[in-house]
Amino acid sequence: MIRKNLLFILLIFSINALAQNTVENLDKILTERFSANEPGAAVLVVQNDKVLLRKGYGIAEMSRKSAVSPDMVFRIGSITKQFTSTAILKLVSEGKISLQDNITTYLPDFKTQHPVTVEQLLNHTSGIKSYTSVPERMTTDAKKTKVSVPEMLGYIQRYPVDFAPGEKWLYNNSGYFLLGAIIEKVTGKTYNDYITQTFFKPLKMTSSYTDDSKPIARQAAGYSKGGDTYSMADYVHPSIPYSAGSFFSSVDDLWKWNQAVFGNKVVSAELLEKAWEPAKTSAGVESYGYGWQLGKIGDSKVIGHGGGIDGFLSFELYVPDKQLYVVLLSNNTSANPQDIAYTLAEEVAGINKNKPEPITLTAEQGDAYTGVYKINDQAERVITRLGNQYFSQRTDGTKFEIYPYAEDRFAFKESNTRMIFIRDASGNVSAMDMEDRSFVPQRAVKTNKPIPSDRAVFDLNPTDFDVYVGEYELAPGFLIKVWREENNYKAQATGQQAFEIFPESATKFFLKVVEAQIEFFKNEQGEVTSMTLYQGGRAMPGKKVK
């Protein structure tokens, strides 16, 4: 009996020690990601209704050097979409909306080029152009100016569609703005009042707000990084993101929301299961449902969403079969909350703690994987080799180092993403699947296109660059600032972080982190008067204003 009791005590001690070690590891991960002297984040990790970590990291307000605390309020950006989606589903359950109805059933004055259903707004397959992709709608002045719902609908319906409904998937803030308008039409209430009365008040979400028309206590300030310094983000009026991303909340309130949703207290389990099904299009299947992103850690399904708005980034996820919830709200736009949240969840779940060991390939073996792989009509992924090093770069994306760890298997050096290469009947590499925490692996098919050659860096005298230093206005309120730090050349767009640019000629420069180029132009007197930014197939000219 004594022996059994001793074994039981040792078992309990071992479990408690393991749990304490996990909590320490979570704190270590976050301490490494957020400096105590920079804008940071509030973080909550809960498993089986037990709080494992609830803590603030970094600075909430730089001028006062006040620290982030876990009860603070942040802008949550597109996590707002969960509330919009759930409101639509609640109205579906009440028989007031049908997912397959044409949206003109509820918005008869909104003209569409093709019939669009409510469901296609929910899962981003409508093809309606997202207003946040239109530069003149996203200038500093435009974003801080209040706009009415009818005014924004007028803007949206004037834009050409990106594709026919159901043909493809493309993340779309216009769709969720339209859903907010539908909620107002059906309920006879403003969107903000409906959300507050239906969700916030009944669930006692006392630190959640649909807008900032009244002062919000304990609100963190938002920041963006430029070079080595942080600046307070430009203000965005809540009427601009509206039902696509206007809300303010705290980690505690979002945990209350998660409990209510997964406890079937807001809508039925049947409707929620539909909301968590991958979107189907003519082009394939996407890891997105109705206002929720779908992912995986190990073999477990992950349901969550992220958000981004000037000065703030956020991400929250739930792993149902592990009853594991993670939410991270940051006031630092140089953070990566999605990666951090997944890393924390994987730590708690004990997944991917050990990265696979690399193996060595011959040049012939390695070259079999290199090439240009087509993801879709808009994007490709290029795999390259430099000696024994391998790299992956998506269109308009950063180049990442990858390494082989088994036959036809590669891993990303700085993340848990894996690549599985597929061979045809002849044994030739014909495609790849990306396992990047997405619920549906992303397949890319190998093409016969030649690998683009790396740009050679032009030998520019650093002082010759000084004529380009200044600010260039590409749209009202949207500037690109250009400067030199000794022999390094920098550019920073409004509301974005700074990037190094590299000369390919005396007047043309390129970025390495994304596929983009900048060209400077002079007048007849030899004075620099403008620049053009080339990115994503577009040429965006800007006049030098300073």
Q: At what angle do helices 173-187 and 80-93 cross, to 10 degrees?
A: 40
Class of the 363-446 domain? mainly beta
pLDDT tens digit sequence for 171-194:
999 999 999 999 999 999 999 999
Buried b vs exposed e over 100-125: b needs ≥16 C-beta within 10 Å? ebbbeebbeebebeeebbbbbbbbbb
pLDDT of residue 519: 94
Q: Is the pLDDT of residue 352 over 70?
A: no
Which tops the pLDDT comparison, 224 or 192?
192
79: number of Cβ within 10 Å: 25
pLDDT of residue 202: 98
Residues 400, 393: contact at Cβ < 8 Å? yes
Q: How confident is the model at residue 6 (pLDDT cuts 50, 70, 90)?
A: low
Which secondary structure element, helix H or strand E, spans residue 17, and what is its range? helix 2-33
**What whole-number distance in Å separates Cα of residue 227 and Cα of residue 63?**
18
The contacts of residue 191 (CB under 8 Å, 6+ apart) are 84, 149, 180, 181, 183, 184, 210, 242, 243
Do the domains 363-446 and 462-544 sit in the same CATH topology, yes or no? yes
Q: Is the pLDDT of residue 513 over 90?
A: no
CATH of domain 74-349: 3.40.710.10
Which secondary structure element, helix H or strand E, spans residue 423, and what is its range? strand 418-423
Give one DSSP letter per residue of 199-247, joined into a string: IITTTT-TT-BS--SS--TTBPPPEEEETTEEEEPPP--TTTTGGGT--
Q: Is the pLDDT of residue 16 over 70?
A: no
pLDDT of residue 445: 94
pLDDT of residue 379: 82
pLDDT tens digit sequence for 131-161:
998 888 888 888 999 999 999 999 999 999 9
pLDDT of residue 15: 44
pLDDT of residue 3: 55
The contacts of residue 270 (CB under 8 Å, 6+ apart) are none
Mean pLDDT of all residues in 157-172: 94
Q: How far is CA 75 from CA 10, 231, 250, 324, 409, in A?
A: 45, 17, 9, 23, 40
pLDDT of residue 486: 87
pLDDT of residue 90: 98
Which tops the pLDDT comparison, 513 or 446?
446
How much of the chain, in percent, has pLDDT values that exceed 70?
A: 94
Q: What is the mean pLDDT of the chain?
A: 91
pLDDT tens digit sequence for 286-340:
999 999 999 998 889 999 999 999 999 999 999 999 999 999 999 998 888 998 9
| Single-letter amino acid code for the residue at 475 | A
In the chain, domain spans? 74-349, 363-446, 462-544
Residues 180, 84: contact at Cβ < 8 Å? yes
Residues forming beta bridges with residue 268, ordered by sequence position: none
pLDDT tens digit sequence for 54-89:
999 999 999 999 999 999 999 999 999 999 999 999
Mean pLDDT of all residues in 366-393: 91
pLDDT of residue 353: 61
pLDDT tens digit sequence for 458-504:
999 999 999 999 999 887 767 899 999 988 999 998 767 788 899 98
How much of the chain, in percent, has pLDDT values that exceed 90?
A: 72
pLDDT tens digit sequence for 522-540:
998 889 999 999 876 678 8
Which tops the pLDDT comparison, 350 or 514?
350
The contacts of residue 8 (CB under 8 Å, 6+ apart) are none
pLDDT tens digit sequence for 396-438:
667 789 999 999 999 998 777 889 999 999 999 999 998 878 8
434: number of Cβ within 10 Å: 20
C-alpha of 12 from chain center? 40
pLDDT of residue 208: 98
Q: Is the pLDDT of residue 387 over 50?
A: yes
Tell me the fold of 462-544: Lipocalin (2.40.128)
pLDDT of residue 14: 45
Q: How confident is the model at residue 284 (pLDDT cuts 50, 70, 90)?
A: confident
Q: Is the pLDDT of residue 11 over 90?
A: no
Residues forming beta bridges with residue 503, ordered by sequence position: 509
